[in-house]
Chain A
Amino acid sequence: MITSQYQYSNRPVAEEKTDTEPVIRIRQLEKAFGDRVVLNKVNLDLHPRENLVILGRSGTGKSVLIKCIVGLIKPDAGEINVLGYDVPTLSTDELNALRLQVGFSFQGSALYDSMSVRENLEFPLKRNRGLFNTQELNKLVTAALEDVGLEKSIDQMPSELSGGMKKRLGIARTLILKPKIMLYDEPTAGLDPITAGEINELINEVRNKYHTASIIITHDISAARQTGDRIVALVNGKNKIEGTFDQLKDAHDADIEAFFKY
C-alpha cells in the first residue's frame, strides 16, 4: 500500500478494496444554492485505477461535485462514499485523515504564492507527516518534481512559472502525499493545446505509475478523449449519459453532440 509508510496510527486507514469495488460511490446526490439546483440526484461510481471524465458545460455543477467528494461543500442530500467512508458524516479529524488519500488538483493550481516551489512541496510533508529531515524532504521533493518535469524550477517562486508549469506543480504537490484517488478540476483550462496535451499525458502517467483512480472534471472534449477510460456527461446537474469516448460520440443527444460540434 503506497501510503502505509506514512500512515498515522490513530487515523482511519482505507480498507483494501478489490479491483471491482468502487473507490468512490455517489448515490442520489443533491445540492442547491438558494433556489438554484446545482446537483440533482447524481449517481456515480469510480473504480480502482480508472480515469473517469466528468464532462459538462460551465455551471453544470462539476466542480461542486468534486468539492462535495472531499468535504469542502456539504451536500443537501444523498450518499458519498469514499474508500469506504461516508464523507458527510465524518468528523473534522476523520475527514482530514481521509483527505490524505485523496489528491485534489485545483483549476487555478492554488499554489501558495508566498512559498517557493520547494516550500510548496515541503509544506504538506511537514504539516501532515511531521517530516523535517532536510535530506528526506529533499529526496521526496526532487522525486515529485522529476515526475512532473519541473526539477529545474525547484527554487523559483510560483509567480515565475508559466500556466502549464503551475498546473504541473499543483499536481506534484498533490502527488507528494501519495494519494489513492486524484481529483482534477479543469486541468487544461486556460492552456494552449500543446501544453494541454502534455498535462493530459501527465494525468495518464500518474495513473500508470501510482495506480491512482482519477476523476477529471473538464469541458474540453480533447482532454476527455485523451484521458478518459469512461466519460459521464453532466447536464443541468444530472448525469445524463455515460460511456466511452466513442460511445458518446455516436450518441444521438443534442447536449452531447454540441461538445463534438465545436
Chain B
Amino acid sequence: MKKFLITLADIARFTGKSLRHSFTPPFEFREIVRQCFIIGYQSFFLIGFTSFIAGIVFTRQSRPSLASFGAESWLPSLVSQAVVRSLGPLITGLICAGKLGSNIGAELGSMKVSEQIDAMEVSGTRPFSYLVVTRIVATTMMLPVLVVYADVIALFGSYLTVNMINSSSMELFFNEVATSVTYLDVFSSLIKSAIFGFAIGLVGSYAGYHTEGGTTGVGRAANTAVVVSMLCIFIIDLISLQFINLFRNT
C-alpha cells in the first residue's frame, strides 16, 4: 500500500513537472516537430489500414439489423455517429497506445539503463524537456490529427461497402454523414483524442524514464506503457462519455 501511494505521488509529480515544462521556455520546437513526424506521419499507414477495415466491418455488421425494419437509409447516419463519436478515437487511441506507448517506453527505457539519460543530465542538457515533454506534446498534438484521418478513412470504407450493395452515390452518402454529425461530436472527439494522446505520452515516458533492471526492465517498461495506456484510454473514454452526455441532454 505504501509503495502504491509513493508511486501515485511520483506519477502526480511527473505529470505536474511535464505540464510545467510544457508551458515554460526554453521550448524544444525542433524536437517537437521531429517527434510529430515520427508519431504522426509514421502511423498513417497503420491507422489508415485499420480504420478502413473497421469502417467496412461496422457497416456490414450494422446493415442487416437496419434492413430488418426497413431503415437501411439510416446506415450513413449510424456509421458516421459511431465513427466520429467513438470508433475513430477509440481505435486510433488503442493502436497508438500499442505502437507509440511501447515505442516511447522502450526507447526511453533503453536510454535510461544505458545511462544515456544520466549522460544528458550531467552535461546540463535538460533531458526531461528534451525527451519527455517533446514526446508528450507531440502525442497530444498528433492524436487529434490521426483521429480525423481515421474518421475520414473509416467513413470512406463504409461508403465503399454501401456503394457495393446499393450503388448509392458518394455525394448522397457524405451529405447524410454531414447532416448527422454535429459540431459537438467533432469537438468532443478531438478533445478526447488529445487527452488520449497526453495519456499515451505521459504513461510511456513515465514507464521509460523510471526503468530499472537492465534489458528486462526495458521490456517491462514497454509492456507497462502499453497496458496502462490502454486502460487509461478506456477510463478516459468512459468519463468523457458521461461528461459529453451532459451537453447532449440539454
Q: List chain A positions with a Cβ less than 8 A from chain B.
A: 67, 70, 72, 95-97, 99-100, 102, 104, 106-108, 110-113, 123-124, 127-128, 173-174, 177
Chain A at the B interface: SS class: mixed
- Chain B residues near A100 (CB-CB < 8 A): 123-124
Chain B stretch 96-125: residues in CB contact (< 8 A) with chain A? 111, 114-116, 118-119, 121-125
Instruction: Find out whether the CB atom of B116 lies under 8 angstroms from the CB atom of A99.
Output: no
Contact B124 A96 (CB under 8 A): yes
Residue of B whose beta carbon sits closest to that of A130: B26
Q: Which residues of A sit under 8 angstroms from B121, Cβ to Cβ?
A: 72, 99
Contact partner of B125 among A70, A102, A113, A123, CB < 8 A?
A: A123
- Cβ contact within 8 Å between B118 and A72: yes
Chain B residues, Cβ within 8 Å of A107: 115
Given contacts A104-B119, A127-B130, A110 and B125 within 8 Å (CB-CB) = no
Would you call B118 and A110 a contact (CB within 8 A)? yes
Count of interface residues, chain B, beta-carbon cutoff 8 Å: 13
Query: Cβ of A104 and Cβ of B124 under 8 Å apart?
Result: no
Q: How far is the CA of A173 from the CA of B119 in the complex (A)?
A: 10
- A124 near B122 with CB under 8 A, answer no
Q: Find chain B residues with CB under 8 A from A99 CB.
A: 121-124
Mind listing 20 A-B residue pairs with CB under 8 Å? A72-B122, A95-B124, A99-B121, A99-B122, A100-B124, A102-B122, A104-B119, A104-B123, A106-B115, A106-B118, A106-B119, A110-B114, A111-B116, A112-B116, A112-B119, A127-B123, A127-B124, A128-B123, A173-B123, A174-B123
Contacts of A102 in B (CB 8 A): 122
**Residue B13 CB within 8 A of the other chain:** no
Question: Within the assembled complex, what's the spacing in Å between the Cα atoms of A112 and B115?
Answer: 9
Closest residue of chain A to B125 (Cβ to Cβ) is A127
Evaluate contact between B123 and A124: CB separation under 8 angstroms.
Answer: yes
Report which of B114, B115, B118, B125 forms a contact with A124, defined as CB distance below 8 A: B125
Question: Residue B126 at the A interface, CB < 8 A?
Answer: yes
Task: Point out the residue from B114, B119, B123, B130 that lies within 8 Å of A177, measured CB to CB.
Answer: B123
Contact partner of B124 (CB less than 8 A), chosen from A106, A110, A128, A173, is A128
What 13 new A-B contacts, CB under 8 Å, besides A95-B124, A104-B119, A104-B123? A70-B122, A72-B118, A99-B123, A100-B123, A106-B115, A106-B119, A108-B115, A112-B119, A113-B114, A123-B125, A124-B123, A128-B125, A173-B123
A127 to B122, CA, bound (A): 13
B208 to chain A, nearest CB (A): 14
Report how many A-B pairs have Cβ atoms within 8 Å.
Answer: 52
Neighbouring A residues of B130 by C-beta, 8 Å: 127
A70 to B122, CA, bound (A): 7
User: Measuring CB to CB, which residues of chain B are less than 8 angstroms from any residue of chain A?
Assistant: 111, 114-116, 118-119, 121-126, 130
B244 to nearest A CB, angstroms? 40
Question: Are B115 and A110 touching (Cβ within 8 A)?
Answer: yes
Closest 7 CB pairs of A and B: A110-B119, A96-B124, A110-B115, A127-B125, A104-B122, A99-B124, A70-B122
Q: Which residues of B contact A113 (CB under 8 A)?
A: 114, 116
By beta carbon, the residue of chain B nearest A105 is B119
Chain B residues with CB below 8 A from A97, complex form: 124
Q: How far is the CB of A163 from chain B (nearest CB, A)?
A: 14
Bound-complex Cα distance A38 to B44 (A): 51
Residue of B111, B121, B123, B125 with highest tally of chain A CB at under 10 A: B123
Check B116–A96 contact: CB distance below 8 A: no
A70 to B121, CA, bound (A): 9
User: CA separation between A96 and B126, bound complex, in Å?
Assistant: 8
Complex CA distance for A177 and B124, rounded to whole angstroms: 10
Contacts of B125 in A (CB 8 A): 123-124, 127-128
- Chain B residues in 8 Å Cβ range of A174: 123
Assembled-state Cα–Cα distance A100/B124 (Å): 6
In the complex, what's the smallest C-beta–C-beta distance from B66 to chain A, in angstroms? 51
Bound Cα distance A99, B114 (Å): 20
Please, how many angstroms separate the alpha-carbon atoms of A110 and B130 in the complex? Answer: 17
Q: Are B115 and A127 interface neighbours, CB within 8 A?
A: no
Give bound CA distance, A102 to B122, whole Å: 8
Q: How far is the CB of A178 from chain B (nearest CB, A)?
A: 12
Q: Which residues of A contact B122 (CB under 8 A)?
A: 70, 72, 99, 102, 104
Please, how many angstroms separate the alpha-carbon atoms of A127 and B114 in the complex?
21
* Chain A residues positioned under 8 Å from B115 (CB to CB): 106-108, 110
Q: Looking at the assembled complex, report how far the CB atom of B112 sits from the nearest CB atom of chain A, in whole angstroms.
A: 11
With a CB–CB cut-off of 8 A, which chain B residues contact A106?
115, 118-119
- A241, chain B: closest CB distance, angstroms: 29
Chain A contacts for B114, CB-based, 8 A? 108, 110, 113
Q: Could you say which residues of chain B place their CB within 8 Å of the CB of A123?
A: 125
A107 to B114, CA, bound (A): 10
